[in-house]
Structure 1
Amino acid sequence: MSTILAGHFQLQDEIQRAREELIRAGFPDEQITAFYLSQPGQHDRTPIGGDHLISPGAKESPIGVVEGEVTGGAVGAAIGAATMPVTGILGPVVGGLVGAHVGSLYSFHKMKDHGEPEAGDEANENEREPRPAGMLIAVACVSSAEEDRALELLRKLGAHHIEKAQGTIEGGDWTDFDPLSVPQLVR
Structure 2
Amino acid sequence: MSMIIAGHFQLQEEVEQARRALLDAGFASERISRFYLSQPGQHDQTPIGGDHIQSPGAKETPEGLAQGAATGAAVGAVAGAATAPVTGPLGTIVGGLVGAHVGSLFSFSKMKEAGEREEGGRAPVENRHAGMLVAVAFDDTGLEGKAVDVLRGLGATQIERARGNIVDGDWADFDPGSAPDIIR
| TM value normalised by structure 2 | 0.90
Q: State the AA in 2 paired with 1:98.
A: V
1:80 positional shift: 2.3
Q: Matches of 2:18 and 2:86 in 1, distance apart?
A: 80
CA distance in 2, matches of 1:135, 1:143: 25
The percentage of counterpart residues that share the same residue type is 61
Q: Report SS of the residue matched to 1:130.
A: coil
Instruction: Tell me how far apart the structure 1 counterparts of residues 36 and 50 of structure 2 sit (CA, whole Å).
Output: 16
SS across alignment from 2:101: helix
Shift of 1:172: 1.1
**Cα deviations by residue, 1:97-139 (Å, 9 ceiling, x for unpaired):** 1110010012111111223222244x323xx432111111001
- Distance in 2, matches of 1:83 and 1:157, equals 74
- How far apart are the structure 1 equivalents of 2:140 and 2:71? 62
| SS of residue paired to 2:59 | coil
Q: Paired residue for 1:160?
A: 157
CA distance in 2, matches of 1:14, 1:71: 58
- What CA distance in whole angstroms lies between the structure 2 residues aligned with 1:88 and 1:158? 74
**Corresponding residue SS for 1:20:** helix
Count of aligned pairs between the two proteins = 184
1:132 to 129, 135, 140: 129
Q: Give the AA of the match of 1:52.
A: H
Residues 7-65 of structure 1: per-residue CA shift (max 9 Å, x gap)? 11121111111111212222111111000111122212223322223322222222211
Whether the aligned pair in 1 keeps the contact of 2:42 and 2:51 (CA below 8 Å) is yes
* Range with bigger deviation, 83-92 or 152-161: 83-92
Amino acid in the other structure paired with 2:141: S
Q: Please, what TM-score do these two structures have when normalized by structure 1?
A: 0.89
Name the SS of the counterpart of 2:36 in structure 1: strand
Query: What is the aligned partner in structure 2 of residue 92 from structure 1?
Result: 92
Deviation for aligned residue 1:70: 1.1
- Measured in 1, the distance between the counterparts of 2:115 and 2:170 equals 34
Q: Give the residue type in structure 2 aligned to 1:101.
A: H
Distance of 2:120 and 2:32 partners within structure 1: 37
CA positional deviation for 1:180: 1.4
Contiguous gaps of at least 5 residues in structure 2 = none
Range with greater deviation from structure 2 (103-112 or 151-160): 151-160
Moved over 4 A (4+): none
2:52 paired residue number: 52
Deviation larger for 136-145 or 106-115? 106-115
Report the equivalent of 2:80.
Answer: 80
